Structure 1
């Protein structure tokens, strides 16, 4: 017969609670992408990056004031793949063409299917620090790729767009 000490007699209630909290923390971090990205930062070198977002058919009663508001704030919140990834500097707004529809004269009609809402196309140029690696450019664990759908949001707007250009300064 050997003189073995059973391991369960050496584990206290405190040890059990500590192991339980560690296990819960690890499972929560693997379940939550935001927490996972904070714990395990992506590899790469932080570099200054410019990227463009094209907003097509933006419905606005006064698109000029909307775009002026975005520029005057100087920042916009960006969401990729349904997760908010931060606020970014708005450098420039480019309107490549004229409005697709023009306001008609006469009484104001609040029917959104009417021509009272001007639809415009615009390109917003944003600037930030992002991680650049062999895999590409990433912001907080999310890859910046041309064609990726994004959501930009400010005090008076929430607009869907598509990343149209990514360039490293």
Structure 2
């Protein structure tokens, strides 16, 4: 009795085609987007607030720069040289150090630095979707903790900063 042609010995071409199919299936199963979608569906991903401080930034119009960031509303960010998607901008504020002076009567006053060429110190308050784990939060497969270097990128800028706070929304 003769077997049908599809039940005969597999050839090298059949083995290569099967290997390609298995590789494609593994890529779909372990894809970050699918993993992220499953995590979102199960409720393990939730919004997290992140504060990023940027120091010594040379900007011609600091207030205009910060206002344009607030108006954009979203920016891309990179954690430890790994792209981590985009986040929502909640606020961008000027945290440049003040000039402190002690008056003769003992009172202390603070004023903005009159030096026009002084660099901008800014704090970005961001909101991102993160997975909460026992040791902190994970965004795009990277643990995010205070002190981690971050790169922020918008339409007209790319700046380096440091995470100064991680909290729950």
TM-score, L = length of structure 2: 0.71
User: Which residue in the other structure is 2:122 paired with?
Assistant: 122
Taking structure 1 as reference, are residues 100 and 54 closer, same or farther at Cα in structure 2, changes over 3 Å only?
Answer: farther
Whether contact under 8 Å (2:47, 2:128) holds in the other structure is: yes
SS at match of 1:165: strand
Cα contact 2:66–2:93 (8 A) shared by 1: no
Deviation at residue 83 of structure 1 after TM alignment: 2.0
Q: Residue 147 of structure 1: SS of its match in structure 2?
A: coil
Distance in 2 of aligned mates of 1:101 and 1:26? 62
Q: Does the 8 A contact of 1:101 with 1:119 survive in 2?
A: no
1:93-132 to 2 correspondence within 5 Å? 93-97=92-96, 98=98, 102-103=115-116, 115=117, 118-132=118-132
| Distance in 2 separating the partners of 1:19 and 1:82 | 36
- Verify the 8 A CA contact 1:100 1:120 in the aligned structure 2: no
Aligned twin of 1:61: 60
Partner of 2:32: 37
Which residue in 2 is equivalent to 1:80? 79
C-alpha deviation, 1:145, in angstroms = 0.9
Counterpart position of 1:49: 48
Structure-2 separation of matches of 1:147 and 1:161: 9
Distance 2:23 2:44 in 1: 32
Q: Partners in 1 of 2:24 and 2:11 — Cα distance?
A: 20
Compute the RMSD of aligned alpha carbons. Answer: 2.8
Matched length: 142
Give the unaligned 5+ runs of structure 2. Answer: 1-7, 99-111
Q: TM-score, normalised by structure 1?
A: 0.71
Q: CA 1:26–1:82 in 2, change beyond 3 Å: closer, same or farther?
A: farther
**What is the Cα deviation at residue 23 of structure 1?**
7.1
